[in-house]
Structure 1
Amino acid sequence: MPSAITLHDLSFEWPDGTVVLSGLNATFGTGRTGLVGDNGTGKSTLLRLVAGRLSPTAGAVVTTGSVGHLPQTVTLTREATLADLLGITPKVAALHAIEAGDVDEQHFETLGDDWDIESRAAAALAEVGLADAALDRRVEQLSGGEAVLVATLGLRLLRHPVTLLDEPTNNLDRDARARLRAIVRAWPGTLVVVSHDTALLDVLDTTAELHTGSLTTFGGPYDAWRRHLDQQQAAAAQAVRAAEQTLEVERRRRQEAEVKLARRARTAQTNRANKKAAKIVMNGRASDAQNAAGKLRTGLDDRLQDAQATHAAAAAHVRTDQHVSLVLPDPDVPRGRRIAALQGGDRTFVVQGPERVVLVGPNGVGKSTLLRQLVERRNPEPGRASGRLETDRVGYLPQRLDDLDDDLTAVENIRLAAPALDAGTVRNQLGRLLLRGDSVHRPVSTLSGGERFRVSLARLLLRQPPAQLLVLDEPTNNLDVGTVTHLVEALAAFRGALLVVSHDDAFVRRLDPTTVLALDADGGLTPVDPAADAEPGTG
């Protein structure tokens, strides 16, 4: 397969000296590739380098043509318009100028062959249920899922030879994820997708993994790669066990040999003391014994060193990936304590005690709007579901993670919310969330989506007094599988109340919610079976 992206000795480090990539040599072939790896390994940074949004510290990136890029932060551009999100603002402006009689050559160069750009944009918007939306409509009026899908379709409109998608299923409901998979299957040109959505990764041709600074490629989709990796790791673990057994045998041999040599030496010493043989004979025997002992030790030492080297080589192939240490504070909420009330249509649902409530429904029905109205204690809009808090101890994790100041560091952001805490306590908490070293002193704007999530989460964990209600909007966005597992475990042990919006079916099932409420487009709330294997309202 010919190469569409080539990395030549690529290195990148942040201005504070934090190394992200070092001497990376790799290629991405034409076709569709899934790029996987744990949070913080540099996947988003690598995409930004390929897209030209960052400059390498050393080395180079070569591509076969122009590059389109969907960043994780696309939903943060709230003031942007639909035309901006589609990436067609310059082309539309050029088209309108030409239609108005402006014959400036620059307009024709900008527009190129895209004379039908507005009709194609309208068709793309219709695909996501925005058929009547004007191109100057603001992104802040869209749901997070709608914004991601519009931006993805915009990249398809622009027909780049190489396209990079960073977590494109964030915030998407089940139907939207299915639509995205269909779009990806038919994507023209070269496509590289960073995602933790295994269903999406399974429709791609190739899987590449960024791990411990190296990029390896497997010629198959995610599921096949995962089986291959599991088999590889099982074999590596078996090799380690065999090497440990061999090493133990060689250690015992070495110890037994020393015992035997010590006994011989004591016997020889006793014989000399008893003068059982002539002195010249005794000296000769002692010299021979010393030479034999030296050869034996040398041979055994060589075998022991070989066994140690074999064990070290085998152990190097066994992964010891680190995971977050996540313990939520205990707010000790009594079972009878009323925490909040949600009202939709003519029904009211009370969140009481340490209940886990999940809110589901299609993109655009107002789930995130309901959470913001609840947390910010705003008056509800007519015809929409509404909420009322009965506690002032609330921790809120917004979907867009726009609660952070991008220009401040992780430590500074947390201390804004908890000024009484010293920097050491903040760093320790971030360390348990695998944000360590210089990364905690970099601007939040340089962090990956998963790292940004952990900074926001640390703010909740360090809140005093602890929140009695955690309101989490799409908390699994950008998170690797291991981090999601630890998040589920921590939330399951949390003794406060939870109100969660999530389109991640697997996460919802593992969370084992007390109540699942489906929000519809008319503002109605309907309880559904928490064990149901479907997201109500999305087919």
Structure 2
Amino acid sequence: MIIIQNLSYIHPNKDLLFENINLTIQSQEKTALIGNNGSGKSTLLKIIAGKITSTSGSLKLDAEPYYMPQIFGQFDHLTIAEALGISNKINGLKEILKGNATEENFSLLNDDWLIEQRCKETFVQWKLDDLDLNQKLESLSGGQKTKVFLAGISITNAEFVLLDEPSNHLDLESRNLLYKFIKSTKKTLLIVSHDRKLLHLLDPVLELNKNGINVYGGNYDFYVQQKQIENNTLQQDIHSKERALKKAKEKERETLERAQKTDARGKGKQEKAGVARIMLNTMKNKAENSTSKLKSIHAEKTSGISRELQDLRSNVKNFDKMKFGFDNSNLHQGKMLFKTENINFTYNSKSVWEDDLDLEIVSGERIIIKGENGSGKTTLINLILGKIKPSKGEIFRSEIQSIYIDQDYSLIQNQFSIYEQAQEFNTEGLQEHDIKIRLSRFLFPKESWDKKCEALSGGERMRLMLCCLTICQKVPDLIVLDEPTNNLDIENIEIMTAAINEYEGTLIVVSHDESFMEQINIIKTIQL
């Protein structure tokens, strides 16, 4: 069990990340932790894992947690055994088996005589049986590193597990191994993830924001239903407040017009009656003061309603505020873009594919390229884009405009400011104010325009990339997306999905995110 009370965290620069976190997780619960990029999900996991200290509040655990971070680069200099924290046990066991049965070696082993056998069995389960415990992590792929740390759950016999984006870098086969583990395990899990298939296996769902945690007692489907109800209620509240504001402004106008007419009639009667000028001035000042008071009363009322309306609108989901407006490709549907005959590519005298490839891609298709890690997906993309030539076979490629978007959105240049990056795509000479309007539409307000692109999060880089595509008046005929959802939170995945569904050109995607693939209407699969 874990009990968190009034937990807060403030960055060293004094910015508040979150406050008043109150949370209880029962033993054997499988809990999802979600929230927008920057909401503090990874920080909260690190606090629970004991890697950093909260600013205030209390934390009580009944078991030491096993923590798997999102990024593994800091472990590259370590061996697999060292990274998993079992090197002392392994060394102690080996020394005892050699005959060095010292008290120190028995202490290192800590009576865990099955540690080496457990490693072998677990590595087989995670398809890592070709790895050695003394191998350095820097020699492994991203997917292998992820599976090593997932294997560490069973190897260390952990009962309370913290996982930060565990399906990142995993191919489809490995993701299915992860889903199977989550379904079958009796361990207590707290998982940060944007993988919606994984989230469907967890219950409850916790949503983290600056003001605390909202608990949804169900899986991700239940969470989505509840958020839809909340969003519908929010829209009703906004419409109601808009009507109230309109009515208040009309009332203000009518009241002031009536007061002005009354004052004008009164002044005319007094002048006809020969009232002294000094008295007229006194009565005029009194009328003006009265009108001013009326203005103040109504202005205060309309201002209050406007503030309430602004607060409500600030809660509207970001992608509901955005307008993409992509132009269509000029290519007619069905035009042959790419055709191959018996192609292959050779690395170090070895062919990438066992069988040569025959492919056809025509305009308007939505294609997914599938295959395990190392199956040649990136090689095929580079052949399609003309970046490399085949070692064998023939390729026909039409002259088209194409754009390649990888998971790091590396088309965004780190040295540019947000505004400078937008101008890089301004090929049709849009005016400065048009560029700034589009930046604002993609949630980049005025105060962010001078911000360097190197400081942007994955979600911000993605939104800037989409904004740039709308600035470049002619959207490319072909967009290639390589694991586009890997570094995005759920909200930004929804933004990406909405943009892709509005694009009407040819689309090629490499992704292991099955939910994303279903939602962008893939019609053709290339299996490698």
Q: 2:311 aligns with which of 298, 313, 316?
A: 316
Q: Deviations over 1:185-206 (max 9, x none)?
A: 4545542211122232233222
Shift of the 312–85 alpha-carbon distance from structure 1 to 2, 3 Å rule, reads: same
Query: Could you list the runs of 5+ residues in structure 1 that have no partner in the other structure?
Result: 405-409, 416-420, 520-539
**Structure 1 position 427, deviation (Å):** 8.1
Q: Could you tell me which residue of structure 2 aligns to residue 366 of structure 1?
A: 375
Aligned length: 488
**Structure 1 position 317, deviation (Å):** 4.1
Query: Is the Cα–Cα contact under 8 Å of residues 202 and 222 in structure 1 kept in the other structure?
Result: yes
Shift of the 118–337 alpha-carbon distance from structure 1 to 2, 3 Å rule, reads: same
Q: Could you tell me which residue of structure 1 aligns to residue 15 of structure 2?
A: 19
Q: Deviations over 1:155-214 (max 9, x none)?
A: 343244542211122244555444423422454554221112223223322222223554
Shift of the 451–166 alpha-carbon distance from structure 1 to 2, 3 Å rule, reads: farther
**Identity of matched residues, %:** 24
Shift of the 397–214 alpha-carbon distance from structure 1 to 2, 3 Å rule, reads: same
Query: Is the Cα–Cα contact under 8 Å of residues 174 and 503 in structure 1 kept in the other structure?
Result: yes
Query: Is the Cα–Cα contact under 8 Å of residues 72 and 449 in structure 1 kept in the other structure?
Result: no
Query: Is the Cα–Cα contact under 8 Å of residues 33 and 206 in structure 1 kept in the other structure?
Result: yes
Shift of the 206–348 alpha-carbon distance from structure 1 to 2, 3 Å rule, reads: same
Q: Could you tell me which residue of structure 1 aligns to residue 201 of structure 2?
A: 203
Alignment of 1:140-151 (within 5 A): 144-151=142-149
Alignment of 1:107-146 (within 5 A): 107-131=105-129, 133-136=131-134, 144-146=142-144
Q: Please give the secondary structure, in 2, of the residue aligned with 1:170.
A: coil
Q: Deviations over 1:465-522 (max 9, x none)?
A: x999765432211323443344345556779876532122333344445642112xxx
Shift of the 508–9 alpha-carbon distance from structure 1 to 2, 3 Å rule, reads: closer
**Partner AA of 2:414 in structure 1:** I
**Partner AA of 1:62 in structure 2:** L
Counterparts of 2:513 and 2:32, CA distance in 1: 19
Q: Could you tell me which residue of structure 2 aligns to residue 229 of structure 1?
A: 227
Query: Does residue 411 of structure 2 align to residue 414 of structure 1?
Result: no
Shift of the 33–170 alpha-carbon distance from structure 1 to 2, 3 Å rule, reads: same
Counterparts of 1:160 and 1:123, CA distance in 2: 16
**Partner AA of 1:506 in structure 2:** S
Shift of the 40–245 alpha-carbon distance from structure 1 to 2, 3 Å rule, reads: same
Counterparts of 1:84 and 1:230, CA distance in 2: 46
Counterparts of 1:305 and 1:251, CA distance in 2: 11
Shift of the 255–22 alpha-carbon distance from structure 1 to 2, 3 Å rule, reads: same
**Structure 1 position 19, deviation (Å):** 3.4
**Partner AA of 2:526 in structure 1:** L
Shift of the 228–498 alpha-carbon distance from structure 1 to 2, 3 Å rule, reads: closer
Counterparts of 1:76 and 1:497, CA distance in 2: 39
Query: Is the Cα–Cα contact under 8 Å of residues 414 and 454 in structure 2 kept in the other structure?
Result: no
**Partner AA of 1:487 in structure 2:** M
**Structure 1 position 133, deviation (Å):** 4.3
Shift of the 498–55 alpha-carbon distance from structure 1 to 2, 3 Å rule, reads: farther
Query: Is the Cα–Cα contact under 8 Å of residues 30 and 190 in structure 2 kept in the other structure?
Result: yes
Alignment of 1:378-389 (within 5 A): none
**Structure 1 position 21, deviation (Å):** 0.8
Q: Could you tell me which residue of structure 2 aligns to residue 478 of structure 1?
A: 487
**Structure 1 position 238, deviation (Å):** 1.6
Q: Please give the secondary structure, in 2, of the residue aligned with 1:366.
A: coil
Q: Could you tell me which residue of structure 2 aligns to residue 72 of structure 1?
A: 70
**Partner AA of 2:370 in structure 1:** V
Counterparts of 2:227 and 2:164, CA distance in 1: 23
Counterparts of 2:485 and 2:328, CA distance in 1: 22
Q: Please give the secondary structure, in 2, of the residue aligned with 1:348.
A: coil
**Structure 1 position 325, deviation (Å):** 8.3
Query: Is the Cα–Cα contact under 8 Å of residues 145 and 172 in structure 1 kept in the other structure?
Result: yes
Shift of the 45–347 alpha-carbon distance from structure 1 to 2, 3 Å rule, reads: same
Query: Is the Cα–Cα contact under 8 Å of residues 164 and 193 in structure 2 kept in the other structure?
Result: yes
Q: Could you tell me which residue of structure 1 aligns to residue 347 of structure 2?
A: none
TM-score, normalised by the number of residues in structure 2: 0.70
Counterparts of 1:162 and 1:438, CA distance in 2: 44
Counterparts of 1:489 and 1:205, CA distance in 2: 27
**Structure 1 position 23, deviation (Å):** 4.1
Q: 1:62 aligns with which of 54, 59, 64?
A: 59
Query: Is the Cα–Cα contact under 8 Å of residues 24 and 213 in structure 1 kept in the other structure?
Result: yes
Q: Could you tell me which residue of structure 2 aligns to residue 37 of structure 1?
A: 35
Q: Please give the secondary structure, in 2, of the residue aligned with 1:73.
A: coil
Shift of the 256–357 alpha-carbon distance from structure 1 to 2, 3 Å rule, reads: closer
Q: Could you tell me which residue of structure 2 aligns to residue 531 of structure 1?
A: none
Q: 1:252 aligns with which of 246, 250, 265?
A: 250
**Partner AA of 1:170 in structure 2:** N
Q: Please give the secondary structure, in 2, of the residue aligned with 1:184.
A: helix
Q: Please give the secondary structure, in 1, of the residue aligned with 2:488.
A: coil
**Partner AA of 1:313 in structure 2:** E
Shift of the 507–332 alpha-carbon distance from structure 1 to 2, 3 Å rule, reads: same
Query: Is the Cα–Cα contact under 8 Å of residues 340 and 358 in structure 2 kept in the other structure?
Result: no
Q: 1:349 aligns with which of 355, 359, 375?
A: 359
Q: Could you tell me which residue of structure 2 aligns to residue 526 of structure 1?
A: none
Counterparts of 1:113 and 1:155, CA distance in 2: 19
Query: Is the Cα–Cα contact under 8 Å of residues 268 and 286 in structure 1 kept in the other structure?
Result: no
Alignment of 1:152-167 (within 5 A): 152-160=150-158, 162-167=160-165
Q: Could you tell me which residue of structure 2 aligns to residue 533 of structure 1?
A: none
Query: Is the Cα–Cα contact under 8 Å of residues 338 and 352 in structure 1 kept in the other structure?
Result: yes
Query: Could you list the runs of 5+ residues in structure 2 that have no partner in the other structure?
Result: 345-352, 426-438
Give the CA RMSD over aligned residues. Answer: 5.2
Counterparts of 1:459 and 1:104, CA distance in 2: 66
Shift of the 242–185 alpha-carbon distance from structure 1 to 2, 3 Å rule, reads: same
**Partner AA of 1:349 in structure 2:** L
Q: Deviations over 1:226-284 (max 9, x none)?
A: 222222232232223223323332332232222222222222222222228x88xx99x
Query: Is the Cα–Cα contact under 8 Å of residues 65 and 158 in structure 2 kept in the other structure?
Result: yes
**Partner AA of 1:221 in structure 2:** N
Query: Is the Cα–Cα contact under 8 Å of residues 242 and 309 in structure 2 kept in the other structure?
Result: no
Q: 2:98 aligns with which of 97, 100, 109?
A: 100
Counterparts of 1:312 and 1:168, CA distance in 2: 41
